[in-house]
Structure 1
């Protein structure tokens, strides 16, 4: 997996692939909630794919892996191109933040209490009017001053300040690079490098604090690693999937899944696969950091988590709207006259609303088959209890 991701279907990808292969889709397979693309990757020898996700950063990863001609540029070529601009912006930012960087070194070399105090006192856009003013100026700048978002939003929390400086400097170099055919690859590697070193559990709804000796040791170890070094490794990790001819027929969309299937714009479709959220948790809050970094749009931010104010929400995660959302999904796919394959656990929010997937699907499809598998679901990085819980994952194959 390129980025750690809650709700990944990696454990189900083979089952989904096999179910779709049995349908012998007469066209491309649409993955409506594609996330990190586990299912799309599994389909490389079955059918071309259309991936869709509500978050922009996942689309960059999908484009880098599932589309495009075979790369002729090497990772070493990319690093050689980017290094001068990276070093220039890094030096500028280190001068701007010289005092804060020295304070960070002292905190990292000190006690657990020293590091906790440093994190608590650090200013960022979520708690400082001055930092918000600086962010506004950076957003409006067309020069190198524009590249300070990670430092202003996520330092001394999700990242060390030194790492945030490196992240901003790398983005400045990527944006200045003239090889546009490599842009998605570079940005995907940039996000992937961040995910390796982010000071957080399996998501970025919150960052870790040195509340124990083990947490303190982990943060110190993580914060002293280099984003740039990790970026050079990630360029190789973000490899292309499948053949060039397979990738040529793939497409990547960003948006609400229900909007996509209702718009009537999809062409050459053989099957639709849907893996909608199944809890009341709005997934966008778990990935707001990656989304903000990718978009680099200096959004309004609030709270210790530095959350953006315009996070995407879906009716699939609202008990009051989940039933209607499933009706919309089934109704619009049935109009396309293609099979619909749905992944959904027995313990999902729809069941809490007193309805099952087959009850809704049979109103729109003539044949609904159910296949069940044992699975382990993440508890969203919970601080207490088990990190995973057992569940029954169901595949519903809906035929017109």
Structure 2
């Protein structure tokens, strides 16, 4: 692959501080991507186009974009924005002008003033005297959501300093329009510090005031920034940090974990991501980025696409939980938060998930077989080659089972394709991968491709 410069996390690397993380995973999965490319080049040496059907953070799309036409498809809006930035980078002049705009943004000062009571309180918890009171730390993490407070969702037992800060901020917000502070209202104090969320909101406001044709690119850098600073285990939005152990006692090191993420400078990191996206290598290969259901995308797939790479979610974990924060920030639509029953009473979901968020049929045991059957059928009817990604799991180690096991997938594929082969990195692997009595080394079972084609 002809790329100038060192590759890190999907795009050309700059000097990124080691503490920063990213939603792109090329750095950790480079060998997997090289394996996929080797198979793709073998099956289609003429370098026709490839469809990345569940493109997510765009690693596969980015990896193939210099050599082949790429059609990146995902139902989630955050994916559409990130893949667009990866495949269609903007000029550095846009970055320079937007950075200058942010340097002089009045919204930074105004927003910080509005949220000052919460910013000061949280700083005292993270970096000041209140940090020595672990009960106060836990209370803030468990009750620090402004959305929850404004919704009057079980805030009867708030500590006086937190209630007073909320009251003052609520009063301050009356001078602003209702469609402001999406990051601070939904995720401040829970996933980000309020100081960070206010800066995210200022950036979002300035993006909204730019030419619409540039907004997607500027938002991509914001999403990467948000993913880097999110203060959770695993750096995702599945659920906020649990500050207490199973016995209800504060966890040791909780303050240290807060300081690590919640003191990251948002604007510095955002500028880093703007420059990193701009430095991405670009090839005029007629790429497309579609926000669509996989069935719609396959039905309308053009003739110049030869290979469909599919890596759908296939465990019971609904992947939209892990990205709901990015989805909300990308849509900027102020959604209603879903509720759940706790102790017989309806409460806001702990993760503050979007109501009616996208939940893939591939994650639902009762629906997944039909979804896979539709995938096989549509690709076969289009006479494309399907590369279905599958990650084996070790039942003995308690790994989350796949809703459809590989033996079943292989049988289903053979109904629609006359050639089906299963490969893993470096060796051929047959369909007994998930048997409890088959002990595979982790390297051998890390990634599998089910190759399906009609010859």
The TM-score range, normalised by the shorter chain, is 0.7 to 0.9
Name the counterpart of 2:263.
Answer: 224
Q: Does 1:259 align with 2:259?
A: no
Equivalent runs, 1:95-110 vs 2, <5 Å: 95-108=113-126, 109=128, 110=130
1:55-77 deviations in Å (ceiling 9; x for gaps)? 11111111011125x62526333
In structure 2, the CA distance between the partners of 1:358 and 1:121, relative to structure 1 (3 Å rule), is closer
Q: Does 1:82 align with 2:102?
A: yes
Whether the 8 Å contact between 2:91 and 2:278 is mirrored in structure 1 is no
Name the counterpart of 2:358.
Answer: 312
For the residues of structure 1 that align with 2:279 and 2:409, how far apart are their CA atoms?
35
Name the counterpart of 2:384.
Answer: 338
Name the counterpart of 2:187.
Answer: 154
For the residues of structure 2 that align with 1:99 and 1:20, how far apart are their CA atoms?
55
Equivalent of residue 370 in structure 1, options 400, 422, 426 = 422
1:340-363 deviations in Å (ceiling 9; x for gaps)? 1111133462544x8422211111
CA RMSD in angstroms, aligned pairs only:
3.0
For the residues of structure 2 that align with 1:374 and 1:114, how far apart are their CA atoms?
52
Higher normalized contact order (CA 8 Å, seq sep 6+, divided by chain length): 1
Name the counterpart of 2:38.
Answer: 18
Q: Does 1:214 align with 2:253?
A: yes
- What is the number of residues matched between the two proteins? 373
Task: Report the alpha carbon displacement of residue 150 of structure 1 after superposing the two structures with TM.
Answer: 0.9
Whether the 8 Å contact between 2:368 and 2:404 is mirrored in structure 1 is no
Q: Does 1:296 align with 2:332?
A: yes
For the residues of structure 2 that align with 1:222 and 1:278, how far apart are their CA atoms?
30
Whether the 8 Å contact between 1:126 and 1:304 is mirrored in structure 2 is no
Residue 213 of structure 1 aligns to a residue whose secondary structure is: coil
Task: Report the alpha carbon displacement of residue 18 of structure 1 after superposing the two structures with TM.
Answer: 1.3
Equivalent of residue 111 in structure 2, options 64, 88, 93 = 93
For the residues of structure 2 that align with 1:77 and 1:222, how far apart are their CA atoms?
28
For the residues of structure 1 that align with 2:281 and 2:268, how far apart are their CA atoms?
27
For the residues of structure 1 that align with 2:71 and 2:81, how far apart are their CA atoms?
14
Determine which structure has more spread, i.e. the larger CA radius of gyration. Answer: 2
Task: Report the alpha carbon displacement of residue 165 of structure 1 after superposing the two structures with TM.
Answer: 0.8
Whether the 8 Å contact between 2:66 and 2:282 is mirrored in structure 1 is no
For the residues of structure 1 that align with 2:275 and 2:25, how far apart are their CA atoms?
23
Equivalent of residue 77 in structure 2, options 27, 49, 56 = 56
The TM-score with structure 2 as length reference comes to 0.74
Select between 73-82 and 153-162 the one with higher mean Cα deviation.
73-82
For the residues of structure 2 that align with 1:335 and 1:280, how far apart are their CA atoms?
29
Whether the 8 Å contact between 1:67 and 1:251 is mirrored in structure 2 is no
In structure 2, the CA distance between the partners of 1:9 and 1:330, relative to structure 1 (3 Å rule), is farther
Whether the 8 Å contact between 2:55 and 2:73 is mirrored in structure 1 is yes
Task: Report the alpha carbon displacement of residue 331 of structure 1 after superposing the two structures with TM.
Answer: 0.4
Equivalent of residue 238 in structure 1, options 277, 302, 306 = 277
In structure 2, the CA distance between the partners of 1:186 and 1:76, relative to structure 1 (3 Å rule), is same
